[in-house]
């Protein structure tokens, strides 16, 4: 099948799914003050530069088990699943220790929009190098009928959260909504995507696409922490996460509203298999029931051990092929 992703809800046929290896905790950098919860921040500060498999092997195994259970579900549904390679010893020695080493979150380093496979420029060092473990896959994109694009690699910043004209863009902020429309968030805390990154994307995609920006609160790092679109016309949403109000494209949709507490625990971060089926963390039973009321089947999976470390189901995977029915 040819690489193609036009919406969040078309039938998922092929994707990349994260894989847990040793998990070298990133050394502490200023952006973590904003993006981590008060409960989690001390844990990251304490263990920066350490391997989780060594100081918490049982917890690390629980993370592995939860993520692999979802991969099995996808494969049983007929989805072709690619997995990232582990960073080599040479790469670990080359990259700064603040980058960490964790291939669990495959969303932010790339974006697939239409037939464009785009390597992004992540503001956070802890995910900036994820795209390199996917390079073997990227090299095959042309054979899948796609275009391989890459943003300029960012120059070093003294403070990752400083105002800058350097373009940054992360996949958790990007939602293809069909009809050539792409909704992108600008995080106002300077911890993820910025306006310069959105401008770069507009130029890269060209006139075939309409890219719209929405600003979100700094404590909700990505758009997929305030929004999910399980099918056209239905959205799971944390309304107060949008600084300028609900984006016009989805304002008249059937909105399933969530609380601030649910937003901070990744309550919108689901894996949409197709417009009739979503995978939702079992920890969000209330939200799952609301989705089911809209005639969408929900598969529940325990995922709390994973979202304790800054992401959930949408963060874990990236679609490569979504088939239009």
Q: What is the CATH number of the domain that holds 209?
A: 3.75.10.10
Residue 4 forms part of a structural domain: no
With residue 236 as reference, give the H or E element that holds it: strand 234-237
Residue 261 forms part of a structural domain: yes
51 DSSP assignment: B
The answer for residues whose C-beta is within 8 angstroms of residue 261's C-beta and 6 or more apart is none
pLDDT tens, 184-193?
999 888 889 9
Distance CA 253, CA 257 (A): 12
Please tell me whether residue 98 adopts helix, strand or coil conformation: helix
Model pTM?
0.94
Q: Identify the residue with better confidence: 136 or 96.
A: 136
- Strand-pairing partners, residue 12, are 322
Question: Do 166 and 132 meet the contact criterion of CB atoms below 8 Å apart?
Answer: no
Residue 123 forms part of a structural domain: yes
Distance CA 167, CA 151 (A): 8
The answer for residues whose C-beta is within 8 angstroms of residue 8's C-beta and 6 or more apart is 175, 176, 177, 228, 229, 230, 272
Question: Do 280 and 307 meet the contact criterion of CB atoms below 8 Å apart?
Answer: no
Residue 75 has pLDDT above 80, yes or no: yes
In this predicted structure, which of 212-216, 244-248, 304-308 has the lowest mean pLDDT? Answer: 304-308
Distance CA 117, CA 132 (A): 13
The answer for residues whose C-beta is within 8 angstroms of residue 51's C-beta and 6 or more apart is 22, 23, 24, 25
Name the token pair of 311: 């992401």
Q: How far is CA 279 from CA 250, 258, 299, 318, in A?
A: 22, 17, 5, 14
Distance CA 311, CA 285 (A): 18
Name the token pair of 109: 């380093």
Mean residue pLDDT of the chain comes to 91
Mean pLDDT of 106-126: 92
Question: Do 167 and 194 meet the contact criterion of CB atoms below 8 Å apart?
Answer: yes
With residue 313 as reference, give the H or E element that holds it: helix 313-316
State the residue range of the domain holding 83. 11-323
Nearest to 232, CA basis, from 290, 275, 169, 190: 275
* Total number of domains in the chain: 1
Residue 317 forms part of a structural domain: yes
Phi, psi (5° rounding) for residue 52?
A: -65, -35
Mean pLDDT of 210-227: 95
Nearest to 114, CA basis, from 325, 263, 321: 321
Residue 1 forms part of a structural domain: no
pLDDT tens, 152-186?
988 877 776 778 889 999 999 999 999 999 999 99
């Amino acid at each position: 099948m040819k690489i193609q992703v036009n919406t969040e809800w078309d039938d998922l046929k092929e994707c990349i799914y994260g894989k847990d290896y040793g998990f070298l905790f990133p050394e502490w950098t200023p952006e973590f003050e904003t993006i981590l919860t008060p409960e989690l921040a001390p844990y990251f500060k304490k263990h920066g530069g350490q391997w989780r498999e060594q100081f918490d092997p049982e917890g690390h195994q629980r993370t592995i088990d939860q993520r692999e259970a979802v991969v099995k579900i996808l494969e049983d549904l007929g989805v072709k699943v690619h997995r990232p390679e582990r960073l080599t010893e040479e790469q670990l020695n080359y990259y700064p220790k603040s980058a960490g080493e964790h291939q669990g979150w495959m969303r932010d380093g790339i974006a697939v929009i239409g037939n464009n496979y785009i390597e992004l420029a992540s503001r956070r060092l802890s995910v900036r190098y994820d795209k390199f473990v996917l390079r073997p896959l990227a090299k095959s994109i042309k054979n899948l009928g796609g275009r391989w694009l890459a943003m300029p690699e960012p120059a070093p910043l003294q403070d990752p959260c400083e105002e800058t004209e350097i373009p940054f863009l992360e996949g958790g902020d990007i939602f293809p909504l069909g009809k050539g429309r792409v909704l992108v968030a600008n995080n106002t805390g300077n911890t993820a995507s910025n306006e310069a990154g959105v401008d770069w994307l507009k130029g890269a995609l060209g006139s075939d696409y309409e890219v719209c920006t929405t600003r979100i609160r700094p404590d909700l790092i990505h758009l997929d922490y305030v929004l999910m679109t399980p099918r056209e016309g239905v959205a799971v949403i944390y309304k107060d996460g949008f600084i300028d109000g609900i984006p016009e494209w989805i304002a008249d949709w059937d909105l399933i509203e969530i609380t601030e507490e649910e937003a901070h625990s990744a309550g919108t971060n689901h894996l949409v298999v197709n417009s009739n089926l979503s995978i939702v963390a079992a920890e969000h039973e209330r939200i799952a029931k609301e989705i089911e009321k809209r005639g969408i089947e929900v598969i529940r999976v325990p995922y709390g051990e994973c979202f304790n470390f800054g992401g959930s189901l949408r963060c874990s995977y990236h679609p490569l092929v979504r088939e239009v029915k």
